[in-house]
């Protein structure tokens, strides 16, 4: 199952809620303001790294680029473009958008 998160974790609970509820072996894709959850040195970095033991975390490159934080992404988070986003929705059997 692919989870998408589109909210900043400093504003809303979507990312933490997603990390708490996602099943082992699933993937989380950070899009839109959700990409702020992938920023290095933030108060949520440890939680994100902890989640990465059980799930793969991806971030959408266009959203990182536009926000000026592509160079600040936590090691281990994989960057994808929209083609990669589509591929993830194909690879995983369904999508849960944590709106």
Binding site for another protein (CB under 8 A): 1, 6, 13, 17, 20-23, 26, 31-33, 62, 81-83, 85-87, 89-90, 94-99
Residue 31 or 44: the one with the smaller Cβ distance to another protein is 31
36 and 9 Cβ atoms separated by less than 8 Å: yes
Residue 26 or 44: the one with the smaller Cβ distance to another protein is 26
Smallest distance from another protein to CB 98, Å: 7
CA distance 81 to 9: 21
Smallest distance from another protein to CB 43, Å: 19
Smallest distance from another protein to CB 76, Å: 22
Smallest distance from another protein to CB 96, Å: 5
What DSSP letter does each residue of 25-77 carry, written as one string? T-EEEE-GGGGGGGBTTSTTHHHHHHHTTTSEEEEEHHHHHHTT-GGGBPTTP
27-30 and 56-60 beta bridge pairing: parallel
């Amino acid at each position: 199952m692919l989870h998408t998160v589109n909210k900043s974790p400093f504003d809303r609970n979507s990312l933490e809620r997603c990390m708490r509820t996602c099943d082992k072996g699933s993937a989380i894709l950070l899009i839109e303001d959700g990409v702020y959850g992938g920023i290095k040195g933030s108060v949520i970095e440890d939680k994100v790294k902890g989640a990465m033991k059980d799930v793969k975390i991806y971030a959408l490159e266009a959203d990182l680029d536009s926000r000026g934080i592509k160079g600040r992404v936590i090691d281990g988070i994989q960057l994808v473009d929209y083609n990669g986003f589509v591929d993830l929705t194909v690879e995983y059997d369904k999508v849960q958008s944590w709106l």
